[in-house]
Amino acid sequence: MSHSLALMPLLVATWQTLYMVFIASVLGIVGGLVLGVVLYNTQTGGLWAHRAWHQVLGFITNVGRSVPFIILMIAILPFTRFVVGTSIGINAAIVPLVIAAIPYFARIVESALGEVPFGIREAALAMGATQWQIITKFLLPEALPALIRGSTLLIVGLIGYSAMAGAVGGGGLGELAINYGYERFDALVMLETVVILVLIVQWVQTYGDRLAKRPRLKRLAIVAIIFALLCVVSQAWPKGEQAHTIRVGIMGGAEENIMQVAKRVAWDRYHVHLQLITFDDYVLPNTALNNGNLDANIFQHVPYLDTQIKARHYKLVPIAKTFIYPLGFYSKKYTSLSALPEGAVVAIPNDPSNEGRALLLLQQSGLIKMKPGVGLLGTPASVILNPYHLHFVAMNAAQIPRALKDVAMGALTNDFVGPAGYTVNQALLKEGSHSPYANVIVVRAQDQHKPIFKALIAAMHSKPVLEKTQALFPDGAAIAAWY
Amino acid sequence: MITLNNINKTYTVAGTAYPALTGMSFTVEAGEIFGIIGKSGAGKSTLVRCLNGLEKITSGDVQIDGQSIVGLSDSALRQTRRSIGMIFQHFNLLSSRTAFDNIALPLELVGKNQQAIAARVNDLLRLVELEGLGGSYPHELSGGQKQRVAIARALATEPNVLLCDEATSALDPETTVSILNLLKKINQTLGITVVLITHEMDVVKQVCHRVAVLDQGRLAELGKVVDVFIRPQSDVAKRLTQASLHLELPDSIKSKLHAEKAGHPIVRLAFVGASAEVPVTTLLHDRFSVTCNILQADLQVIDGDSVGFMVCELQGTQEQSDAALAHLQAQGINVEVLAYVS
From A123, A130, A144, residue closest to B92, measured CB to CB: A123
Sheet containing A273-279: order of strands: A273-279, A245-251, A296-301, A438-444, A316-324, A479-480
Mean pLDDT computed over B223-233: 88
Decide: A229 and A21 in contact? Cβ < 8 Å.
Answer: no
CA atoms within 13 A on the CB side of A56: 6
Contact B109 A128 (CB under 8 A): yes
Q: A120 — contact with chain B (CB < 8 Å)?
A: yes
Task: Annotate A185-249 with DSSP letters as a single string.
Answer: --HHHHHHHHHHHHHHHHHHHHHHHHHHHS--HHHHHHHHHHHHHHHHHHHHS--S--TTEEEEE
pLDDT greater than 50 at residue B69: yes
Hey, is the C-beta of A464 within 8 angstroms of any chain B C-beta?
no
A216 → chain B, closest CA residue? B96
Between CA B181 and CA B188 the distance in angstroms is: 10
User: pLDDT at position A239, please?
Assistant: 57
ipTM of the modeled complex = 0.86
Per-residue confidence (pLDDT) for residue A243, from 0 to 100: 59
Contacts of residue B51 in chain A, CB cutoff 8 Å?
none
Cα B151 to chain centroid distance, Å, stands at: 17
Q: Are strands B161-165 and B193-198 parallel, antiparallel or unpaired?
A: parallel
Q: At residue B18, does pLDDT exceed 90?
A: no
HSE toward the beta carbon, residue A300, CA cutoff 13 A: 31
DSSP-derived letter for residue A134 is I
- Interface touch B95/A142, C-beta < 8 Å: yes
- pLDDT, residue B230, reads 83
Q: Find out whether B315 and B335 touch, Cβ atoms under 8 Å.
A: no
Binary contact (A142, B86; C-beta < 8 A) = no
- Average pLDDT over chain B, rounded to an integer: 89
Q: Number of A:B CB contacts under 8 A?
A: 56
Picking from B52, B81, B92, the nearest residue to A120 by CB comes out as B92
Which residue is closest to B95 within chain A, CA to CA?
A: A142
**Residues of chain A where predicted confidence (pLDDT) is lower than 70:** 1-6, 166-167, 180-185, 237-243, 483
Which range is most confident: A325-329, A444-448, B210-214, B310-314? Answer: B210-214
CA A154 to chain centre: 20
Indicate the residue of A119, A129, A137 with minimum beta-carbon distance to B92: A119
Q: What is the DSSP letter of A365?
A: T
Q: Model's pTM, two decimal places?
A: 0.72
Residue numbers in A near B79 (CB within 8 A): 128
Nearest CA in chain B to A215: B96
Whether chain B has a CB inside 8 Å of the CB on A45: the answer is: no
Which residues between 218 and 247 in chain B have a beta carbon less than 8 angstroms from any beta carbon of chain A? none
Q: Smallest Cα–Cα separation from A394: which of A334, A351, A341?
A: A351
- Highest mean pLDDT: which range of A33-47, A463-477, B179-193, B228-242: B179-193
CB contact under 8 A, A137 and B105: yes
Overall residue count recorded for chain B in this entry: 342
pLDDT of residue A185: 66
- The residue among B78, B59, B79 whose CA lies nearest residue B70 is B59
Check the CA dihedral A424-A430-A434-A439 and report its sign.
Answer: negative
- Name residue B98's amino acid: T
B124 close to B156: Cβ distance less than 8 angstroms: yes
Q: Is A118 on the interface with B (CB under 8 A)?
A: no
Quick check: B88 and A215 CB within 8 A? no
pLDDT of residue B255: 82
For residue B130, what pLDDT band results from cuts at 50, 70 and 90?
A: very high
Q: Are B36 and B44 in contact (CB under 8 A)?
A: yes
What type of residue is B267?
Answer: V
Residues of A in contact with B157 (CB under 8 A): 127-128
Per-residue pLDDT averaged across B130-140, rounded? 92
Closest CA to B35 of B204, B154, B281: B204
Question: In percent, how much of chain B has pLDDT > 90?
Answer: 44
Name the residue in chain A with its Cα closest to that of B163. A126
Q: Cβ B95–A122 below 8 Å, yes or no?
A: no
Contact residues, chain B, for A141 at CB < 8 Å: 94, 96-97
Chain B residues in contact with A120 (beta carbon < 8 A): 92, 94
Give chain A's length.
483
- The alpha-carbon gap from A223 to the nearest alpha carbon of chain B, in Å, equals 23
Find which of A127, A134, A147 to mutate to test the B interface (most B CBs within 10 Å of its CB): A127
Q: Find chain B residues with C-beta within 8 A of A126's C-beta.
A: 52, 54, 81, 84-86, 163
- Report which secondary-structure segment, H or E, holds B109: helix B99-109
Give the residue among B107, B149, B102, B105 at the shortest CA–CA distance from B128. B149
Query: Tens of pLDDT along B94-103?
Result: 999 999 999 9
For chain B, positions 97-156, list CB contacts with chain A under 8 A. Answer: 97, 105-106, 108-110, 153
Q: Which residues on chain A are in Cβ contact (under 8 Å) with B90?
A: 117, 119
Nearest Cβ partner for B109 among A120, A127, A215: A127
Sign of the Cα pseudo-torsion (B160, B164, B167, B169, in order):
positive
B105: nearest CB among A127, A130, A215 = A127
Q: Report d(CA A79, CA A100) in Å as an integer.
A: 14
Per-position DSSP letters for A29-90, written without gaps between them: HHHHHHHHHHHHHTSTTSTT--HHHHHHHHHHHHHHHHS-HHHHHHHTHHHHHHHHS-SSSH
**Residue A332 contacts B where some CB pair is shorter than 8 Å:** no
Residue in chain A nearest B109 by alpha carbon = A129
Q: Do A126 and B90 touch (CB under 8 A)?
A: no
